[in-house]
């Protein structure tokens, strides 16, 4: 048994005018609760420090840089790192990263109980658009503000297991999980900000969005025999609603714990990393059962799959 009690720390809405200091205070309050519950690991959402700013159009890139952290720990997050180290808590959270050479990524980090950043992931699947789009009910400008991640989907041997990260839209793509599954991942932590309506398809509302979210996360967990911790930023941000749906999913693809609110809320479960072993040694033993040579030939032309050559 390799049990790790995880706190999925859903954050309620963060308004545009709310300071990072105020958000970090909320994050520390959740961490104190998680510590009191006996959790050594707390997981926060995507872009945890601010409102979901890609909904706001900035013509001037430099102006948009105000949403980014130029270092980590940054001045605003130093109190979070100090609190985590003092409590001996490991954590993961997402933030907008500006690198010293001027690149911009939607990033999440994994920090061990001593406060060392042991893992970094940069979001690969960036949804939305680059320019202001008056046809949409709301803007989703991730493609404007971020470059696709350049780190792949690594895994890290830490906290007594094999950990991976992805961010929000990544969770809808099977290859996200499979990349990490092929490296033996035992727990994937991810944060998300998902508007509860589709900006281009009015009929797609909260119920369908929650369904697709759960479908993706549960399938990814099951098909790769891994735990998945999926953490929302939820609620009404300046009139824009983000769905909740924070989940802890076991390696059988079952939801074992989920949020009940759209506010700051801990979702806790004691996850046994050894629960991944059965799936990895049986139906999803990739080394024994995958038959890549029979899958077909994928040509350089994207999307065209040809039958295998004789």
CA distance linking residue 186 with residue 157, whole number of Å: 10
CA distance linking residue 81 with residue 83, whole number of Å: 5
Contacting ligand CDT (CB under 6 A), which of 40, 115, 128, 235?
128
DSSP per position, 142-155: HHHH-PPPSS-S-E
Neighbours of 309 (CB within 10 A): 6
CB 214 → ligand CDT: shortest distance, Å? 12
179 flagged as catalytic: no
CB 25 → ligand CDT: shortest distance, Å? 24
Does residue 246 belong to the site contacting ligand CDT (CB under 6 A)?
no
168 flagged as catalytic: yes
Interface of this chain with ligand CDT, residues 158 to 217, rule: CB under 6 A? 168-169, 172, 192-194
Does residue 127 belong to the site contacting ligand CDT (CB under 6 A)?
yes
CA distance linking residue 126 with residue 119, whole number of Å: 20
**Which one, 98 or 233, has the nearer CB to ligand CDT?**
233
Does residue 51 belong to the site contacting ligand CDT (CB under 6 A)?
no
**Which one, 176 or 276, has the nearer CB to ligand CDT?**
176
Q: Which of 35, 39, 46, 179 is catalytic?
A: 46
CB 16 → ligand CDT: shortest distance, Å? 16
Q: Which of 35, 98, 166, 168 is catalytic?
A: 168
Which residue, chain included where needed, has tokens 């470059």?
Answer: 147
176 CB contacts (<8 Å, ≥6 apart)? Answer: 124, 125, 153, 166, 170, 220
Q: Cβ distance 170 to 148 under 8 Å?
A: no
CB 171 → ligand CDT: shortest distance, Å? 7
46 flagged as catalytic: yes
228 CB contacts (<8 Å, ≥6 apart)? Answer: 171, 177, 187, 188, 189, 190, 217, 220, 221, 247, 248, 249
Q: How many residues bind ligand CDT (CB under 6 A)?
A: 10
**Which one, 128 or 253, has the nearer CB to ligand CDT?**
128
Closest CA to 104 of 141, 131, 76, 137: 141
User: Per-residue contact track with ligand CDT, 140 to 159, x per CB under 6 A?
Assistant: x-------------------
Binding site for ligand CDT (CB under 6 A): 46, 127-128, 140, 168-169, 172, 192-194
């Amino acid at each position: 048994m390799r049990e790790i009690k995880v706190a999925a720390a859903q954050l309620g809405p963060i308004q545009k005018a709310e300071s990072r200091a105020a958000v970090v205070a909320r994050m520390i309050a959740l961490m104190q609760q998680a510590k009191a519950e006996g959790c050594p690991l707390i997981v926060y959402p995507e872009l945890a420090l601010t409102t979901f700013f890609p909904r706001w159009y900035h013509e001037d890139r430099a102006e948009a840089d105000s949403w980014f952290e130029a270092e980590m720990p940054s001045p605003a997050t130093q109190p979070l790192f100090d609190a985590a180290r003092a409590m001996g808590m490991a954590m993961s959270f997402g933030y907008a990263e500006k690198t010293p050479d001027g690149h911009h990524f939607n990033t999440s980090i994994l920090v061990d109980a001593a406060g060392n950043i042991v893992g970094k992931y940069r979001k690969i699947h960036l949804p939305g658009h680059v320019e202001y789009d008056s046809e949409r009910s709301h803007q989703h400008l991730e493609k404007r503000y971020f470059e696709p991640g350049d780190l792949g989907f690594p895994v890290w041997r830490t906290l007594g297991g094999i950990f991976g990260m992805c961010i929000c839209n990544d969770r809808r793509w099977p290859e996200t999980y499979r990349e990490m599954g092929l490296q033996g991942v035992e727990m994937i932590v991810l944060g998300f900000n998902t508007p509860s309506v589709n900006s281009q398809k009015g009929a797609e509302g909260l119920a369908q969005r929650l369904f697709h979210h759960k479908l993706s996360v549960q399938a990814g967990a099951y098909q790769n025999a891994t735990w998945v911790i999926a953490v929302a930023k939820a609620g009404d941000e300046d009139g824009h609603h983000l769905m909740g749906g924070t989940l802890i999913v076991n390696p059988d693809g079952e939801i074992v714990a989920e949020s009940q609110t759209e506010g700051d809320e801990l979702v806790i479960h004691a996850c046994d990393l050894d629960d991944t072993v059965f799936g990895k040694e049986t139906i999803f033993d990739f080394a024994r059962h995958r038959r890549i040579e029979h899958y077909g030939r994928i040509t350089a032309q994207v999307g065209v799959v040809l039958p295998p050559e004789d």
